Structure 1
């Protein structure tokens, strides 16, 4: 029977693990908050005597934005558990490359969701004269403000994942060298 001794983590690995836990926890909170804000945002106003609703579910880009944030949140929870496994067990250092791929994928997914929502929000705020689209945020200020806040929070999660990607890439590069 062979007893495996736990190898103490180096200072670089400890900093890596702490930054992973902190950034992933912040990303979980930010993506969940962004999705929740959009999911609960709706407004009904009277426009020229008609009751008009504004809901995220009416606009495919906002549905995509919510789905992306929920997927990123779920993946962040899973990757946080994996990070805790890295703390407790001696893990093959080459597995950090897979962490890098995960972080890069989620970063790109969040970038796509944020970009889609930003493009539609811009048209909602300013309209597009050439296409004949009128701005609606003058009528649905509460709805537009909630979407703006959700977008800011989601862009924060994108930054957290960008930092995670850079850290993972750096560590993966050090291991390969």
Structure 2
């Protein structure tokens, strides 16, 4: 099938990011678009995906844009037939363009995702959380402020259509 949706990127500073949402709700908003497959084995399923993601991060009034290919491999459980699903798994990333690249960011990276989905026939809606693994950090804030680590994490709201 195909999938797409919106994602909100956070830089790991939850209270600062929550305050910024009230000031500018479209700040750090991005999108994703791609393909997925789903293999059912009873109530358990495997869902490999491949999609393009566009992220924006604002750090001290500097906007950094990131474009990457993401390939999560999710294992899930269908509940109430297949109406509701929960899922989790690793996510692999290849960076096409990255405003952070000047600061020694790797082209390949990995993280994890988990979430919940609602399935209505051929249509699906899911909400998921993604975070880069701990070993995949750079000290981008040190460049601007001299404080803390930067780790991509995002909330993703996606709509999917099964073929």
TM-score normalised over the length of structure 1: 0.23
Q: Which has the higher helix share?
A: 1
The structure with the larger Rg is 1
Q: Which has the higher strand share?
A: 2
Q: Comparing both chains, which one has the higher relative contact order based on Cα–Cα distances under 8 Å and sequence gaps of 6 or more?
A: 1
